[in-house]
Amino acid sequence: MKRILYFLTTLLIPVFSNIQAQETVTLPLRFDHYYTYDQIVSSLKMLNKSYPELTYLEIVGKSEEGRDIYLLTINNKATGVPSEKPGIYVDGNIHGNEIQASEVCLYLANRLLENFGKNEKLTDVVNKNAWYILPCVNVDGRFHFFADPNEPSSGRSIRIPVDDDYDGLVDEDYSDDLNGDGNISIMRKKDPFGNYKTDPEDPRLMVPVKPGELGEWSLLGEEGIDNDDDGRINEDADGYVDGNRNWGYNWNPPYVQSGAGLFPFSGTGIRAIGDWLINHPNIIMVYAFHNNGGMFLRGPATKNAGELPTGDVSVYNYLGKNNEQIVPGYRYLISWKDLYPTYGDFTDFTDNLVGAYSFVGELTADNTETYSGKPINTPATTQNLFGDDTNQERERLKFNDNVVQGELYLPWKKFNHPAYGEIEIGGWVKMSTRLPHPFMLQDMVHRVSAAVIFSAGQTPMVKLEVTDKKSLGKNLYQITVRLSNSKAMPSMTYQSLKNNLYPKDILKVSGEGIKVISGGLLTNQYNNQVVFKETKPEIQFCQVPGLGKTEYRFVISGKGKINIEYNSRKAGKKSAQIDL
């Protein structure tokens, strides 16, 4: 009731983020604004309708609030079924406030489809791969980030109620939009004994007081009132269950990992997506997009997991360093080492249980919001209560004032608070800080999508050849089969080999009227060194390395047609036939 009364006493102040929700969806998709959840659904349906021969649209599951989670498959049927091609899975917006991640996914789908048959490189990666694009994981979070008042970092949680303040009630004391402007801003109060004073360079900012110095302001946190009359403000908001801490690999309970949930896969949508991924074993490349910071992160997510096998590190280094070139300012980093450790992490799940090379793309480097024309790399001077560097805040305010004409920052305004008395409310709007202004969106989504497309060009491409066939006499023949791979990714990750995640690729020799007497891995063709398999020599288990080859030698008795078949979960199927 308190919240309703306060809303009735304020005027709604429109900001650009609220206006965008009215945009009509058309093809080709536009990327000068952000799409609501409903607009994402409309966009996917329009892409599917416009490119029926290349796309398949499905609902992989529902959210806690019953919203559909859509996934678009892009595949050229003329070059094979999706399950027999290297699969590339791309998703975004697992945290409700990280909305530009969905825009990257939509842009990627739109670009692949619109340019198929027109652009040779894009046509090649569609013909070769099966693309699985899920733009919005946390569909409830996205819906509420647009529909409800928020600040840039709120609304991340899966919509699972949690009793944060242990009073027997759940989610009963959210932040409140006291001034009715659609944002959750910061409250401050005049206080000579406060810890902050006005920044002499920009009166909108505050800097910490020095020892022995009188203050001017006390910071009171986010806008809000005591909705449950327990003497505290904003202490029980939505959740908190973090969709990126809830996966069924290396999960730890909440007292170890904040936001983990009561058990792995307790998120309705998370469980549905996990089931879907396990049922698509051809996936060898994963990109999951978040914000912010401008990073491409690889696993492992925790130190105790140990480093990945050398072969996989080489692949990651090749892709990651190229990503840094494609997206200037972004850094290729290791999750636990260069950022922080996480348990129940999505890309740990896909690394170890799906067997895919997996990156987290942390979108938007906010040091690009600069008025000087150069990225902000100045040393930190002082930080406010929320860890914001004053130098960077000053530069961002110049960017706000002069580049986007004041759309990102709300000046401080007085408000009569029921508990604090006269206060001021102001600060960054919800569509700022972690999100690029729409005019910067086009460049970001294109460059980041280009990084994904580059990686797609490096999924395994295996060629099967019979390089040698000769008679040994007495109706015996020797053949040599070469499996070569012209791309950086091997036919299965070295981590999958290490974990015995699934059987290796299979190379099989068969035919009527013939018998495979012996067969094995050719280790030195010049000295005829072969590691023979003792049983069933007609079936060999293998991995084809990236940018390399593996060769097998077989001795066969009999005559007739010989069928040679290669079958890989990740690299597809190849076959050849010869006559003896």
User: 442 and 540 share a domain?
Assistant: no
Is 138 inside any structural domain?
Answer: yes
Q: Indicate the helix (H) or strand (E) that contains 463.
A: strand 462-473
> pLDDT tens for residues 350-385?
999 999 999 999 998 667 788 876 665 544 445 544
Band of pLDDT at residue 14, cut at 50, 70 and 90: very low
d(CA 17, CA 23): 11
Is 535 inside any structural domain?
Answer: yes
Q: How many distinct structural domains can be found in the chain? A: 2
Mean pLDDT throughout 79-87? Answer: 98
Q: Which domain holds residue 558?
A: 462-579
> pLDDT tens for residues 161-212?
988 888 888 988 889 999 999 999 999 999 999 999 999 999 999 999 999 9
pLDDT at 33: 96
Band of pLDDT at residue 21, cut at 50, 70 and 90: very low
| Better pLDDT: 384 or 580 | 580
- Round the average pLDDT of the chain to a whole number and report it: 92
Poorest-pLDDT segment among 232-246, 298-312, 453-467, 506-520:
232-246
pLDDT at 389: 72
Is 292 inside any structural domain?
Answer: yes
Name residue 565's beta-bridge partners.
508, 575
Burial of 280 (0-12, 13-18, 19+ CB in 10 A): middle
| Better pLDDT: 422 or 580 | 422
User: 138 and 250 share a domain?
Assistant: yes
d(CA 315, CA 421): 59
pLDDT at 22: 52
Is 151 inside any structural domain?
Answer: no
pLDDT at 23: 65
> pLDDT tens for residues 377-388?
544 445 544 445
d(CA 376, CA 371): 9
Which of 392, 424, 456 is the endpoint of a domain? 456
Which of 423, 456, 489 is the endpoint of a domain? 456
Which of 456, 484, 501 is the endpoint of a domain? 456
pLDDT at 507: 98
User: 442 and 483 share a domain?
Assistant: no
> pLDDT tens for residues 98-157?
999 999 999 999 999 999 999 999 999 999 999 999 999 999 999 999 999 999 999 999
User: 449 and 525 share a domain?
Assistant: no
What single DSSP character describes residue 103? H
pLDDT exceeds cutoff 90 at 505:
yes
Q: Are strands 572-579 and 295-298 parallel, antiparallel or unpaired?
A: unpaired
Poorest-pLDDT segment among 379-388, 495-504, 551-560:
379-388
Is 180 inside any structural domain?
Answer: no
Is 401 inside any structural domain?
Answer: no
User: 469 and 452 share a domain?
Assistant: no
**Count of C-beta atoms within a 10 Å radius of residue 287:** 30
User: 450 and 472 share a domain?
Assistant: no
Query: Is the peptide bond prior to 292 cis by the omega test (within 30 degrees of 0)?
Result: yes
User: 106 and 244 share a domain?
Assistant: yes
State residue 111 phi and psi, 5-degree precision: -70, -45
CATH number of the domain residue 509 falls in: 2.60.40.10
pLDDT at 528: 87
Q: Give 337-376 as a 3 state SS string.
A: HHHCCCCCCHHHHHHHHHCCEEEEEEECCHHHCCCCCCCC
User: 551 and 451 share a domain?
Assistant: no
User: 446 and 497 share a domain?
Assistant: no
Is 118 inside any structural domain?
Answer: yes
Going by C-alpha positions, the residue among 65, 24, 25, 17 that lies closest to residue 47 is 25
